[in-house]
Every structure is written in C-alpha cells, then in structure tokens.
Amino acid sequence: MKNIFLKFYALLIPIFLLWGCDNFVEVDLPSGQLTAPAVFEDVSTANAAMADVYAKLRESGALTGNGTGVSSLMGNYADELDYYGDSAAATQSFYNNALTATDGTVAGLWNNSYNEIYSANAIIEGVAASTGLQATDKNRLTGEALFVRALVHFYLVNLYSAIPYVSTTDYEQNRHVERLPVDVVYANIIADLEQAQTLLPEDASPERVRPNKTAAAALLARAYLYNGRWAEAANAASAVLNDANYAMENDIDAVFLNGSTSTIWQLKPSADGINTYEGSNFIFTAGPPPFVALTSELVSAFEPGDLRRTHWVGSITDGATTWYYANKYKEQMNTGTSVEYSIVLRVAEQYLIRAEARARQGELIGAKEDLNVIRNAAGLGDTPAVSQQELLDAVQRERRVELFTEHGHRFFDLKRNGALDAALSPVKPGWNTTDALLPLPEAELLLNPNLAPQNPGY
C-alpha cells in the first residue's frame, strides 16, 4: 500500500480530483488549485470531494460494474458466469482458478480499495478540522465517509480474510499497518456503521445516490449476518423494511430502473445519458458471447414460472447453441437521459437477510413470511419449506436467483455457509479449500512485511 499513501500523502498536495467530480453534486468549482483546508471550508467543495469518492467506487475497486469489479470477477470465480473473452485477460485467471500473488487484477482490487479508504479518511479528517462547515454538513459528510470506509473494508475482508483496517491518512502509520483478525475487522466495520447512523440524515438524497441512516442500517444488517449476529441482523433489516420510503417494486421490470422504490443506495453514472457498466458488460446481442455468459447451472436454478427467469435473463442463439446473459440492467448505450444506475443496496436483500436471521434463531413463521415476500414478487407461490434447515436451504436458493451477478453475493454466500468446496470442486480445475481467499498482492508484501504471512495456497 506504500504507493497509495505516498501518492496521497497527508492530502496536502493540490486536490485535482475535484475537477473529476460527477454532475450529481452540482458545484461551481474554483479556477485555482485547492489545498485540503480550503476544500473543507466550503460546503460545495466539500460535497464535491465526497462526490469524487463515489466516482472512485463506481470506476474501480470491488463495486465497479466493469470487468474488474467483484460482480464480474467473483461471478467467474464461482459458478455464475462462463468466460468467453480474451484468453490473456485477467478474468481468465479467475474463471480457471489460476490466480497467483502477482496477478495484476488481484493487486488492483487491493490497491483501488485502499485508495478509496484513504479518500474516505481524508474526508473525515478534513471535515473534522474545518471551521467553515455547519454542524449538520460536518455530520452528514463524516457519516458518508464512515459508511464508505466500512463498505470497502467489508469487501476486502471477505476477499482476503485478515486485512489492515486503515482509519487515518498518516503515512508513517499506514506504511507499517498489520493485518487484523477477521472478527476485529468486523468490529471496526460495525462501529463505523453505528457511528454513521448517528450522523447521517433520515431522508434519502435525491436519486438515492448518497447514503442515509437507512443505507447504513442496510449495510449493518449484512455485516451482522456475515458475523453471525442473528438478532442484530434481523433488527437492522427490520429498521430498513419499516421505513415507508422503501418498498418492493410491483413491476419486476422496474426494479433496476433509477427511480425504483426498492433501491436503498446506488451509484450514478458519470454523465447524463450514460447507464451502467453492468449493462455494457453482461448484455450481448450475438453469439458466441464476447465476454461472459450465465452458466447453465444458474439458469436451471430458477423454478418454473419464476418471473426473474423470464425478465432478468436474456438469451441469444445461433440456431445450434443458446447463450444466456444477465438482463437485470437492460441498457448498453447512451439513452440521452440515464435510466439505470448501479444499485448497491436494495430492499430484496433485506428481506432475505431477515429471513435467514429469523430462521437461524428458530423464528420460522417470520422467516417464511419474509421468504414469501421475495417469492411472491417473482410470481411464485409460498415456500413449501417447514423445518429450520429447509428454510435455511430455501433462503440460499432464493439468494442465488435474486442476487445473481450483484457484487459477488453468490461467492460470499457459498463461502460463509461452508459450501464453496461442494459447489466449485466439480466445476473449477484444481479447486482447493484454500481458494476461498484471494492472494495478497506480492508487491504489497514486499513493501510491508507486516502484512505477512501470505494467504495459504499461494
């Protein structure tokens, strides 16, 4: 990480990033260079600095919808996607289970993620030192940055296991950071989100492109679930589902439109008329696919009559072979006015979180009710599951067909349920239990020996 922290050392260098901010926070930017103190003395430039953090999330790191984000990479690493692209491309290594510690895409995930964390920390520190911002703006910006810091660490810990939890821009501290145990990382994630909840506004931002209290609760629910804190997961999900501003969409074709009532938080495209990277990457109009296609195993996992199969899965045939693609986002091209944004948090996941958390606590009636909300929205009847184990299995089946190609949910679900080996050994060459983790980038281990040891198997 040394290269990252050197690049942004203390944020005292002129901040050119403001000129790259997206138009969803419209500000008149000064003509001169801005140093950190000046940025955080005015709410418009402080907002623009935070907007740049969201642009980073959209363009690189785990959450980007392009081919270097976890939606694509972990879909190929798991059993969601078949790869058809360039055999020399990095995605091929994920698909063929041939990752190494020198893999550039693995290093990119690590470095871009810590870059985003550094930027969030710079916001927190700059806002804290500001004398010009109003208290409400300071609270909101700090809450947003804490939310982002927790979010990115969440993906890092699930990809690499023990990781550093970086909470400062101090280079001398950061160049010697050590990996923390997973439970400590989760404790920090949860602490950041709980603090963010106290600082963020109740109301959703226009277009739901900046997190509010409900977004923090949604991410908390996920963190609690992954951490095995079932009661807290159910309660946090309930806080989201009890917010009247968010609801399941009645029209399945409206779920991934930018005005969907089920969207909790999303990333806006860089310019009006542009839509999502997901649409560009997953949709194809002729066979064989140019990049990726859905696996036959995923397509066959849908029950007869499931609207998600007919509305969220597209197909192309050449007369002899049929290929399938993720059709959640339906726009590939510029549409004049953007109609789809990249959704990170949505209501359906919260029902599935609460269903699982309730089932694990033995609250079987409530678990069934939540599961049926998801099934009924997909045009299916109530679940036939009765016992606790049947309900837990049913939740995982619904997660597979509801959340496919969304930010690595399938891989993480298999991993946290101890099902990776059974699912991937038959379909991934040379699959080993140690492949549940990505390798730490070799270059980072050389720069900072405190990051050792390397993850097993690499």
Q: Write down the pLDDT at residue 89.
A: 87
pLDDT in tens, the chain (458 residues): 544 444 443 333 334 344 344 432 333 333 344 457 799 999 999 999 999 999 999 999 999 999 999 999 999 999 999 999 998 888 999 999 999 999 999 999 999 999 999 999 999 999 999 999 999 999 999 999 999 999 999 999 999 999 999 999 999 999 999 999 999 999 999 999 999 999 999 999 899 999 999 999 999 999 999 999 999 999 999 999 999 999 999 999 999 999 999 999 999 999 999 999 999 999 999 999 999 999 999 999 999 999 999 999 999 999 999 999 999 999 999 999 999 999 999 999 999 999 999 999 999 999 999 999 999 999 999 999 999 999 999 999 999 999 999 999 999 999 999 999 999 999 999 999 999 999 999 999 999 999 999 999 99
Q: Write down the pLDDT at residue 16.
A: 38
Residue pair 215/265 in contact (Cβ under 8 Å)? The answer is: yes
Measured distance CA(236)–CA(230) in Å, rounded: 10
Residue 225: strand, helix, or coil: helix
Measured distance CA(169)–CA(95) in Å, rounded: 36
Residue 454: strand, helix, or coil: coil
Domains in the chain (CATH in brackets) are 2-27+35-269+342-418 (1.25.40.390)
CA-closest candidate to residue 309, choices 320, 295, 299, 296: 299
Q: Write down the pLDDT at residue 35.
A: 55
CA-closest candidate to residue 156, choices 202, 199, 107, 194: 107
Helices of type H across 320-408: 347-360, 364-377, 388-402
As a residue count, the chain comes to 458
Enter the pTM of the model: 0.94
How far is residue 437 from each of residues 31, 94, 275, measured CA to CA in Å?
46, 12, 32
Q: Which helix (H) or strand (E) holds 346?
A: strand 342-346
Residue 418: strand, helix, or coil: coil
Pull the structure tokens for residue 16. 């050119």
